[in-house]
A and B are shown apart, each in its own frame.
Chain A
Amino acid sequence: AQKVTQVQTEISVVEKEDVTLDCVYETRDTTYYLFWYKQPPSGELVFLIRRNSFDEQNEISGRYSWNFQKSTSSFNFTITASQVVDSAVYFCALSEWNSGAGSYQLTFGKGTKLSVIP
């Protein structure tokens, strides 16, 4: 089973529409961390947000917002009034304790490719 499942493989929206990217994760840990990264066509992964498992407050940053729900193991990402520059692949990632390695390990989902059409 995938530890991080990004529900949509590809999404296309028209500029100014709102769009939500869904992420479902699986872990047995009580302490873990969730991340979203953006990978534009240039290829460099850009950090967007980190959330720890004890903080279920939703967060808003400009046109971006994140909804974290432990009850459904989801960490969804919404872009409001999308713009062409939002076109990219977005990755959700889970950091959990790897007892074998004695450290936290980051596992990425397969990504959601978002295309914003002008």
Chain B
Amino acid sequence: DTGVSQDPRHKITKRGQNVTFRCDPISEHNRLYWYRQTLGQGPEFLTYFQNEAQLEKSRLLSDRFSAERPKGSFSTLEIQRTEQGDSAMYLCASSKDGGYYEQYFGPGTRLTVT
């Protein structure tokens, strides 16, 4: 079984543009998480899905951010009207049901907004 994959690995965009990232979780995992990580910090929770339902969103997730998991498999994270402050590593993770299970992380998408 492959691990969590993310695409693209790197994205450079100009301020004001929209970007979309994709995450493919481990196939038998029902839960999928998005995190943001900036330099020198640990990952910060953004949102998570149980199957196709988005169950929680962090206050970090402004209105410009939207996430979907339409069929309970892969997920997309879209950022509209990007700002320089959005520059970060966006990490996706998946786990079995239950928040006590360990989460397995993908390699991340590094976003640079110029």
Give the interface of A toward B (CB within 8 A).
4, 33, 35, 37, 42-47, 50, 52, 91, 93, 95, 97-98, 101-111
Contacts and interface: CB of A to CB of B under 8 A. Distances in A.
B22 to A, nearest CB: 16
B100 A103 contact: no
B104 A47 contact: yes
Interface residues of B, number: 25
Interface of B: 33, 40-45, 48, 55-56, 89, 91, 93, 98-108, 110
B45 A106 contact: yes
A45 B43 CA distance: 10
Contact of B41 (A50, A98, A110): A110
Contact of B99 (A4, A42, A105, A108): A105
Nearest to A31: B100
